[in-house]
Amino acid sequence: MKIYAVNISIGVSKEDFDRVIKLLTTQQKDKICSFRNYEDSLRALFSRLLCDFVLQNEYPLNTKPFLIAETTFGKPYLENHKNIKFNISHSGHWVVCAVSHQEIGIDVEQVRNIDLDIAQHYFSESERNDLLVQPLVKQMDYFYRLWTLKESYIKMLGEGLSCPLDSFSVVMNGEPYLIDKTQQKLPFTLQEIFIEPDYKLAVCSSEKSLFPITIIDSNQLVQISINNRQQK
């Protein structure tokens, strides 16, 4: 498994945005430009650029184009490379991507002040109890740790909200792990990765090893993307 991230707040100009957009397919362009907010379009663009870069970087000898599609639950997959699994997430000014030969889920969230009562709707009873026993000044941080860990598992499964959020729990005892309703440990590895204060990043996989993250420069990613598309 490999994990990549790009900070899109650093040196990304509107000119660069327009240059790349012109080189995309009509379908890709329409999807990215459908957002009313420019920041949302920027995140969508870099999600595509990072995904393309990761796949090309990890599989440089591949001769077939990477055809990305989505399941009915919105999970991206490769139509013509069933053995390659990937997942992507974005929040604030970070876009992240994980790639593996096994199912993988990744989630990044910008920590914002929210009403923690929403834990009643999204966390299991044991998770809510664990949250409430935390010191008040640490509860928001703990909430987002739980949230990203749970979300990474759900995204790995690729079942959307058809997977009840209280059907499993994240246990934060040393290294985090998953249990089902019968308290049985689930055979998946959870990993938390630090990228920046006020952001939480989590990955879920059936792989046992933990992996570092590679940060890609946003300007470099833009130039690589432009060069690769102009050569086609």
pTM score, whole prediction: 0.93
Q: 217's torsion region: left (phi>0), alpha (psi -120 to 50) or beta?
A: beta
Q: What is the DSSP pairing of strand 2-7 with strand 94-100?
A: antiparallel
Which range of residues forms the domain containing residue 16?
2-231
pLDDT confidence band for 86 (50 / 70 / 90):
very high
The domain that holds 139 is classified in CATH as 3.90.470.20
What's the chain's average pLDDT?
91
- pLDDT tens digits, residue range 47-60? 999 999 999 999 88
CA distance 232 to 226: 10
Domain count, the chain: 1
Residue in the structure block whose two tokens are 């990761």: 54
Q: What percent of the chain stands above pLDDT 90?
A: 64
Q: Residue count of the chain, please give it.
A: 232
